[in-house]
């Protein structure tokens, strides 16, 4: 069957229906357009609803994320403030220990009681004070190591190791003069005090390095490394 035949058949059908056929075709086209517009409107409404729901969920996630970030930042700030406070407490003990180190018995001039017995009592008090300062400092560092940056803690342990040897000597020889050192002779006396002088210089140098490190942290808090691991303890 050719196209011409098809057109003739369609024309015959329309002619047989008369005007009603034209009305049916016109109505069908109109209804189709109405249904299409209504379907498009429904799709638009559904899309707008989904978009509002998505935006609402996005806002909830954004607010929740911001709250979590704010909480983390607040906790970090509190932890940083706590660790800065631990550093200040550590430095107070280092400064007190350094002062006590200067005061322990050393060879050379002495300004104090002229009476030998009073001098002896004075040196014993200074030696005992140094030992107490050392014990307080090392105990604090051992207890608060996790709250102190590792590099600061390691440097502090190295510093306290110097003081540890002098604390032991101060306990054995709180008054390292006269009869207390007679058994060692002049050479032993000089070696004892030369070693003490060297330890004092090394301690002061180490304390100065620690002070620089702590100042750098306090002046640039954004670089402050939160303590995350326990540093080594002295052997």
Cα-based distances in Å from 30 to 10, 23, 39? 21, 10, 14
Distance CA 22, CA 25 (A): 5
pLDDT value at residue 209: 94
Q: What is the pLDDT of residues 6-61, one digit of tens each?
A: 556 655 655 565 555 555 555 556 656 767 677 777 777 887 787 788 787 877 77
Contact 226, 79 (CB under 8 A): yes
Q: Give the whole-number percent of the chain exceeding pLDDT 90.
A: 34
Nearest CA among 189, 158, 160 for reference residue 176: 189
The residue with greater pLDDT, 209 or 69, is 209
> Would the pTM of this model clear 0.85, i.e. be above it?
no
Contact 174, 121 (CB under 8 A): no
In degrees and rounded to multiples of 5, residue 15 shows phi and psi of -65, -35
Q: What is the mean predicted confidence (pLDDT) over 97-105?
A: 94
Contact 126, 105 (CB under 8 A): yes
Q: What is the pLDDT of residues 152-175, one digit of tens each?
A: 999 999 999 999 999 999 999 888
Nearest CA among 152, 155, 140, 154 for reference residue 225: 152
């Amino acid at each position: 069957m050719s196209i011409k035949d098809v057109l003739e058949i369609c024309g015959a059908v329309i002619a047989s229906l008369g005007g009603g056929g034209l009305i049916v075709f016109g109505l069908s086209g109109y209804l189709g357009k109405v249904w299409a517009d209504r379907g498009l409107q429904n799709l638009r409404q559904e899309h707008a609803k989904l978009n509002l729901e998505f935006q609402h969920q996005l806002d909830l996630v954004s607010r929740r994320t911001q709250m979590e970030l704010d909480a983390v930042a607040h906790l970090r700030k509190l932890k940083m403030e706590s660790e800065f406070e631990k550093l200040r407490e550590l430095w107070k003990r280092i400064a007190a220990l350094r002062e006590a180190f200067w005061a322990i018995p050393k060879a050379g001039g002495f300004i104090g009681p002229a009476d030998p017995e009073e001098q002896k009592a004075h040196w014993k008090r200074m030696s005992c004070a140094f030992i107490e300062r050392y014990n307080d400092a090392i105990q604090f560092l051992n207890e608060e190591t996790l709250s102190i940056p590792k590099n600061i803690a390691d440097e502090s342990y190295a510093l306290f190791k110097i003081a540890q040897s002098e604390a032991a000597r101060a306990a054995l020889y709180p008054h390292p003069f006269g009869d207390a050192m007679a058994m060692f002779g002049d050479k032993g006396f000089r070696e004892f005090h030369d070693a003490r002088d060297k330890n004092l210089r090394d301690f002061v140098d180490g304390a100065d390095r620690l002070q620089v490190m702590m100042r750098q942290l306090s002046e640039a808090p954004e670089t402050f490394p939160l303590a995350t691991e326990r540093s080594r303890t002295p052997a």
